Amino acid sequence: MYKDGELIGQNMFMKATIAADDGRKIPIMTMGPICIKNEFKGKGYGKMLLDYSLEKAANFGCGALCFEGNIDFYGKSGFKQASEFGIRYYGLPEGEDASFFCYVKYI
């Protein structure tokens, strides 16, 4: 994200796969981290970059998007905790707090 020719924020995507308990491999995208330069934080640029990123992810044709983040911030844009959908964070023992792992479905 640029403002007056200066890079003030960024985000990135990667194709990934979720391994379902039944053996299925489900293609998704992961994203993040969304980074905003310190002096521009709290001015709406993070939300603008998130909205742009969600639009891009939908245009890429991904069925779902998962990433690590603050659910209080991302929840305002429709994200839920991945655990609500039976999606676990790889390597995290069952029962551990995974509230940082966010999910949104596009299909």
Q: Backbone phi, then psi, for 51, in 5-degree steps?
A: -60, -45
Mean pLDDT, rounded, for 55-80: 86
Q: Tell me the pTM.
A: 0.78
Check residue 107 and give its pLDDT. Answer: 45
Assign domain 2-105 to a CATH class: alpha beta
- Taking the domains of the chain in order of start, what are their residue ranges? 2-105
pLDDT of residue 106: 66
Please tell me the distance from the alpha carbon of residue 27 to that of residue 16, in angstroms, as a whole number. Answer: 6
**pLDDT score for 52:** 92
Residues 6 or more apart whose Cβ sits within 8 Å of residue 4: none
3-state helix, strand, coil in the chain (%, to 5): 30, 30, 40
